[in-house]
Each structure stands twice: as structure tokens, then as C-alpha cells.
Structure 1
Amino acid sequence: MPTESTFLLAGLFLLLAAAGWAMGRFGERDEEDAPPPLNIDYLKGLNFLLNEQTDQALEHFLNMVRVDDKTIETHFALGSLFRRRGEVDRAIRIHQNIIARPDLASEQRDQALFSLAKDYLAAGLLDRAEKIFARLAEGSRYQVQALESLCRIYEQEKEWGMAIDAGQRLEVLSGRSLALQIAHYYCERAEAAAAQNDFASAREYVKKAQSGRPRTMRGALTRAHIARDTGDNKTALKLYHRIIDENTYLIAEALPEIVAIYTREDATAELESALKSLLAKNPESSSLIAYTAIVNNLGGIPVIDDCVEQYMLNEPTLGEFIELQQLSEGNKNSHDSALAKVRSALSKLASATPRYQCQECGFSSQRLLWQCPSCRDWETQRPASRVQFDTILQHSITNR
């Protein structure tokens, strides 16, 4: 049965043949000139397609690229089709052949270069793609698309300084704000500098990130980490608390740091007070606190233990795994022992399921990724607030 690609190619052939016939029939010509016949090469290619000889048809058309100067748009379409089919080497050949034509118009050359750069990108040849995109970004009708592609390449290569430059140029040319994206570029530079103990540079990069995007939570979180790593616990706690007050979804990142600092300073009473204040303002944060405590084995703090216990009692699916009666029966020792056992079991279950999920495309991961590897959007991941029992059950049924 003919494939979608076969029908598309057949359509291209017929369209070009019809266009050629119409130009010959109705275009300017001397009266004695007869309308030119349909191009026999296109008919041969169409015959290959109708007989489902797709490879022969593609090779036939590829050979025509060198000799038929009137079909360049169809060649571009065919090159794009090759790339979508994953036959990048053939797409590269087509676009290189177009570029090699000495009489090519400048707009067509730019189009061929842009298509070739996309071929290289699809093939993973980032250096070659980058070189062409950089050339087109200097002055062509593909400036915006070229700069967008350069940003993607620099993200993959972790060339954050170059990504910032390309992003700022793209903002000017496109007229749209890229403040969030550029703020993350600066945060990447800040984290890289902090990893090298260059905290002065790290602070400067965070400052630039927050100047362009004042409410960027990553900037605040990075700044808090820098304060933590340089021993400024007072500033770190202030920032961590502000983070979870303004964005409860970052409890999963900030709470373990808060607990660690208060524990080191033997200030668990202050921790209790701070968490009670958070719960009073945001009661829905209880499940996030509980889930974070389960995943990170945070125990021994009454307010956190209460959140975990309530989470267990309110989780309807938990009874499929563990008997919960012990949590509400018996003396305090047996209660605490049962709570510890259930918490341990939940921790193991939680480690078997993703902790974060992209709100745009659904990509899941075990740790927070500021840029989704799937859809490439920034700051779209959110943490789970419960153990994914349904996923675990489905997995266990599938593997029986």
C-alpha cells in the first residue's frame, strides 16, 4: 500500500508537471510556438511512485536536481521530505547540489543554506549547523530562525555566554521577550561558577538573571544555595523561606535545605514555628511537605511527622499495599514504630516512580530539570505531591 510519503511525492510531481504545462500553455510565447509537452522525467518519477518503487523514484528525482533548473522549489520540498524520513544524508546531498549552482539567486542560496543547516542539526553535526546559522544570523531573511536555532545549539553545548548573546539579539529582532530564557542562561553560568568556588562571579550572574526576570525562582534558589555554600545560613534561610512562601511547588527543593540548616544550628523549635506558619497560610502545602519528607527521609520533627501521618491516612490507595490500622491504634511506641515502617515502605515506593513532570509535554524525571529535555521549554516541571500508586500497580500487573 502506498505510504503517506509516496502520495506526497506523487503530488509534488503532478503539481510541477501541471505548472510547467500551464506556463507553456498560457505564458507569453510566439504564436507559432506549440505548448511544451509534460516533462517526461516527472512522468517517469510518477510511474515509480504509482508502482510503489519509492526508492527508485527518489533516486530518479535526485539525479534531476543536477540538470533541471526550473524545479528548485520541488527540490527544496523533496529535501525536507528526506529529512523528515530520517534520510539526512540524501537531504544534505540535495541541498549541497542546489548551493553548488553558480547562477543561484541570493534568496534561494539563503534558503538552501538554511535547509542544509537544518539537515546538519538533524544529523547531530552541531559545529557545521552552527557555522551556517551564524552566517545567516548576520543578515538574511532567516535571521530570526537562525538565532532561534543558535540558542538551541548553545543550550545543547552548554555555551551559556554565547546563548545569552544570541538570545539578546533575538529579542531585538523578533520583538518578543525572552527574559525567562535568558535568566536561566545566567543561572546556568552562576551554577557553573559556584561549582568552581567562584562565588563572586556566581553572585553577579544571579544578579543579572534577577534584573531581567525579578521573580525568577531559580535565581532565588541559586542565590540561596550560594549563601548556604559560603556559610551565610541566615541569608540562606531567609531566601529558602521566601521561595516556599511564594512558590509551594519548590518545597521539594527548599525543605531539605531548611531542615538541614535548622538541624545543624539545633533550632528545631524555630523550624516547627516556620512550618506551622507556612501551613496556616497554605494548608495545601501539607501533602508536598509529606511527600518531600518521605522521599528525603526527613523525620523526627513533629509538624513534618504530622503531615506524613495525615498523608498516609488520607491516601485511598495506600491500603492496597500496607495495613494502616496500626497508625490509629495502640500506644505511642507502637504508633511511632508503625509510622516508621510505613514511611520506609513509602520511601521505597516513591523511589520507583518519577518525582517531576513537565506541565507542557508530560516528560517525567527523578530530579528537577529547569529545561525539559523533551519540549525544551523552561521552568515547566512540577513535583509530584503523592506516591504514584496507580503507576506502581500498573507496572506490577504488566510484569506478572
Structure 2
Amino acid sequence: MQEHLLLQVQTSRAQVHQELKEREDVEKELGLVKGWIQDTRGLLLSPTADLDSLLQELEVFISRRQSVERMTELQQSKYQDLQSGLPSEISMQLAEVALALGSAEDQVTLLLELSRLQDIEAKLKSISDKLENKAGDLKEAKEETKSLCEECESCGCSLAELGVAVQEFGEQNPLLCKQLGDAVAKLTELQLHTAQQARDRVNRLKKAEKQVEEYQSMKKFILGWIEKAEALISGNIIWNSASQLQEQIRAHQSLLRECRGLHGDLEVMGEREAQLADVLKTEGWSQQVKHLSRCTEELQQSAKTRLQSLQDAAKDMLRLEAEVKNLHAAVDQIQVTLASPDLNKLSLREQLTQRQHLLVEMESFKQQVAAVQRCQSALRLPEEVVASLPICRTAQTLQQEASQLQHTTIQQCNILQEVYSHQ
């Protein structure tokens, strides 16, 4: 009987020692978890905590919580088998640790969501800043704006997903839900503002596309006129005849007619440059307009000066050509008369009278030659050009022919008079 009692005491003592040891192990494990929670709170409060660190901590929290839940189940199962209740000190410690883990896990979840919101906020601010930037090229600006619109839309989708997640989260954590909900609402408002900003930029770029097209069209026309004007003005003037001068006059007049609208085009180009400065970098455009304006003004003035020279030369050439034509007609008429077979059929007396009459007519040669020389000296042409003009060579030839005709006719009259006096 004593041996049986002794065995029971020994068994109970062993059970007590085992129970104490198990309780010590549980308390030790719970102490480690409490210490870990305390250490982790320091990380959660750190301003340098990044998203990857928070995600790692969340995984550890979940693992720790599951471990404590298993520990609680094991302790409850053990004391249920012993037909006893879970000791209050262990129950309180398990509940305290579970509550602390749950609270810390909620905090990590909140920080994770806030971190995502901070990322979205940073992205939206970056999009907004880029939308205000000016591009150097319209095509580049359109492509960038399209990309920014897509990014903004993506932020909107992320916020919508977060909004749903916050609602689900709020069923268990109403206080944290309000904080997250306010942050999501604030960011949603920012996203809507940024989306409107993007739409406004798209509309401005569409308007700018038309303005750039107008600017480039006017620029192309002006550059074409400048090229045409430079080719015309740099070309040599052909002074040979009034008709050739008239052709060149018409070319210069046509050029000047075409440039009448250039001043207005340049003003419009300046206006377009000012309007496009809202979305594009147009620093060089203003200088471009000034350069084109200066070139067109200089070329226009040069064309006017050349036109005046051509018109003066054409007037002088027309007068010279008319006088040369008159002299040419007079010389031809005398030559035809002198060469007529009918003249030689006349009597000596009649031939003499006829030639003497022609000599009287030839006196007009002097006036006609003088008129030609006056017109020739009055030509408003470069001196080096006058000597080589075909009309001037023709005038010189006609003067020589007129002089030769007079000389020949005088000789013929002298011969005829001498022959007639000896009859």
C-alpha cells in the first residue's frame, strides 16, 4: 500500500515538474514573441522603413500569429484532456500576445497601404509636373502626353482597387479604415485633377498641331519666295532690248506682288509662336521670324530698286529704238531710191535734179543722228553695257551708212554736173 502511494506521489511530482517546465517553455516563447513585437514596433515607427521591409515583417507577423494560435490550441487541448481549464495566467498571456500581434499586424497592413498610397501620390505629382513641361517637338509632346494619360489612368485603377480593399479591411478595423479611406479619397481627388490636367494638355496639343501646321505652311511659302527672289535678284540683267527689259520688269513686278502678303504672314507666325510657347519650347522660333522678316524686307527693297532701274532703262531703250528705227527707215528709203533702175533711165538733167533733191532730204540725217546720239547718251544703263548693246552698234552702222550715202550722192552730183556742162 505504501509502495502504491509512493508511486502515485512520484508520478504526481513528475507531472508537476513536467507541467511547470511546459509552462516555463510557453512563457519563455511568449516572452520572446513580446520582445520581438516590441523591437518590431521600433521599425514600424521608423521614417526610413521601406516597402520591402514592411512586406517581410508582415510575413513574419503572420507566421508568429499562426505559431501563437497553434500554441493556444495545443494548451487548450492539453488541459481539456486533463479535464481542467486553461490556467488564467497562461490564458491571459496568450490572449495578450495574440492581441498585440493582431494590433501590430494591423499597423503593418496600414503602413503597407499608406506606402502604396504614397507611391501613387508621388507618381501623380510626377505626372502633373511632366504635364507642365514644354517639349521641343510636337510629336514628342503628343507621345509623352499619351504615356502620361495612361499612367494617370493606371493610378486611377489602383486607387479604385485600394478603395475596395479599404472597405473590406474596414469591416474588421473601422478606425484604420477611416484613416485609409480619407487618404484614398484625397488621392482620388488629386488623380481626378491630374486626369483633367492631362485632358487639357491633349486639347492644347490638338490646337497646337493646327497652329504648327499653319506656321510651317507660311514658313514654307516665305522660304520659297526668298529662294525665288534671291535667284531673280542675283541674276544678271539682260539690257539688249526694250522687250527683254519688259520681260524682266514683269518678273520683278510679279515677285513684288507675291510678297504683298508676306508681312501679314510674318505677323501671324509671330502670333502662332506666342501661342505655341504654352506647350512647346519656341525660343528659336522668334529669332526665326525676325530673320525671315529681315530677309524678305531686304529682298523686297532690292527688287524694288532693280525694278526702278529696269523701268528707267526700258523707257530710255524704247526712245532709242524708236529714233534708230526712224533713221533706219530714212537710210533704207534713200538707198532704195538711189538703187532704182528708173533713176538711171532719166536724162542727165533729171538724174542730177533727182540726186540734188535727195541730198536735200539727206540733211534730215543730221537731226536724226543727233536724236539717236542724245538718246544713246541719256541711257540709264551701266557704262560698260552701253558700248556692247546691239542697238548701239546698229546706230553706229546707220550713221556710217548715212554719211557714206551723202558722200556718194555728192560725188554723183558733181560727176553728173560736169558731164552735163560739157554737152
Q: Which has the larger radius of gyration?
A: 2
Structure with bigger helix share is 2
Provide TM-score, normalisation by structure 1.
0.23
